């Protein structure tokens, strides 16, 4: 049996500009992303077996542990790309990153399992190939693989490293509110088409275009913004972050204070 533990950091969007819609249905974006010191942990083990088998388990009741999980899809892709011998792959997901929160929790786990399997099998795939696999699975995986501070373009898979800046960061998430990326981008598209001139002009007041598109639809988001005007929504939400400050208790919200920006992506746990 081979075994490895991988640290998978969350990300925040320091800026997010949504550009035109692509022919593949996604939007082009221009976003500065930053990894932070909030981590999921993957314990990955492989053992010889008479067929390929994938078993997922973990600590969260909010995610599936079957082929719907992006980690499962990533393992399948790795097997197809490498033709490794038949084996049983088991992954235990210690889930600390909130789900459907705009923090790339699913993407970082998927990037982490690709990275971890490649380490277990002796680095059989190049970094370029790993990034190609990540790009085929989702928009944030490439950033999660690289980490640090990056300008991201395209769907988010085109990375340009930026100078790392250390800062403290805190998160706040409305309880029982998760927002999918599909919902957020659909609402953005609809708003661009239907908003009047006055509403369109308010877009410039937001660091994150998706926050502008979503905030009027959710009282929970409006309440956070009212209490903390300097807070910024990450990705498609529903988490907001604040730099170099902390959140106080807010009704029906979960708070994680005293995190930091970090200069790395997925990696072997120390």
- Specify the DSSP element, H or E, that contains 22: none
181-187 LR contacts (CB < 8 Å, sep 24+): 181/139, 181/235, 181/236, 183/236, 184/210, 184/213, 184/214, 184/235, 184/236, 184/237, 185/18, 185/26, 185/27, 185/210, 185/236, 187/213, 187/214, 187/217
Closest by CA to 46, choosing from 119, 129, 141, 145, is 119
CATH class of the region 170-260: alpha beta
DSSP string, 66-131: STTSHHHHHHHHHHHHH-PPSEEEEEEEE--SPTTSSS-HHHHHHHHHHHHHHHHTTS-S-HHHHH
Active site residue 196: no
Please give the pLDDT value at position 25: 74
Which residues of the chain fall short of a pLDDT of 70? none
Please give the pLDDT value at position 44: 98
Please give the pLDDT value at position 26: 81
Please give the pLDDT value at position 86: 94
Contact of 172 with 247, CB cutoff 8 Å: yes
Catalytic residue among 95, 140, 149, 187: 140
CATH class of the region 2-11+37-146: alpha beta
Please give the pLDDT value at position 21: 80
β partners of residue 254: 173
- Provide the b/e sequence for 213-238 (b: ≥16 CB within 10 Å): bbbeeeebbeebbeebeebbbbbbbb
Contact of 265 with 148, CB cutoff 8 Å: yes
Please give the pLDDT value at position 29: 96
Active site residue 140: yes
The residues, any chain, with a CB within 8 Å of residue 172's CB and separated by 6 or more, are 224, 228, 231, 239, 240, 241, 242, 247, 250, 253, 254, 255, 256
Please give the pLDDT value at position 84: 94
β partners of residue 151: 32, 160
Return mean pLDDT, the chain: 96
Please give the pLDDT value at position 134: 98
Please give the pLDDT value at position 23: 78
Report how far apart, in Å, the C-alpha atoms of 242 and of each of 30, 124, 132, 221, 228 are: 21, 40, 33, 14, 8
Q: Domain segments of the chain: what residues?
A: 2-11+37-146, 170-260
């Amino acid at each position: 049996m081979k075994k490895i533990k991988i640290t998978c950091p969350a990300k925040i969007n320091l800026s997010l500009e949504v550009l035109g819609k692509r022919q593949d249905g996604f939007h082009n974006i221009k976003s500065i992303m930053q990894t932070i010191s909030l981590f999921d942990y993957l314990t990955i083990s492989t053992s010889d077996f008479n067929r390929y088998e994938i078993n997922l388990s973990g600590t969260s009741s909010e995610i599936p542990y079957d082929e719907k999980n992006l980690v499962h899809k990533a393992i399948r892709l790795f097997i197809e790309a490498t033709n490794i011998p038949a084996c049983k792959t088991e992954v235990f997901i210690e889930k600390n990153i909130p789900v459907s929160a705009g923090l790339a929790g699913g993407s970082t786990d998927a990037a982490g399992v690709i990275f971890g399997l490649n380490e277990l099998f002796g680095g059989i795939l190049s970094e370029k190939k790993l990034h190609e696999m990540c790009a085929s699975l989702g928009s944030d995986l490439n950033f999660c693989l690289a980490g640090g501070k990056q300008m991201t373009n395209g769907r988010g898979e085109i990375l340009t490293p930026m100078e790392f800046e250390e800062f403290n960061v805190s998160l706040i998430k409305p309880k029982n509110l998760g927002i999918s990326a599909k919902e957020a981008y659909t609402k953005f598209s609809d708003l661009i088409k239907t908003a009047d001139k006055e509403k369109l002009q308010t877009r410039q007041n937001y660091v994150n275009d998706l926050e502008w598109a979503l905030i009027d639809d959710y009282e929970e988001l409006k309440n956070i913004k009212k209490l903390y005007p300097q807070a910024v929504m990450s990705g498609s939400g529903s988490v907001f972050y604040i730099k170099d400050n902390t959140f106080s208790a807010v009704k029906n919200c979960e708070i994680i204070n005293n995190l930091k920006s970090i200069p790395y992506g997925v990696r072997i746990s120390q």
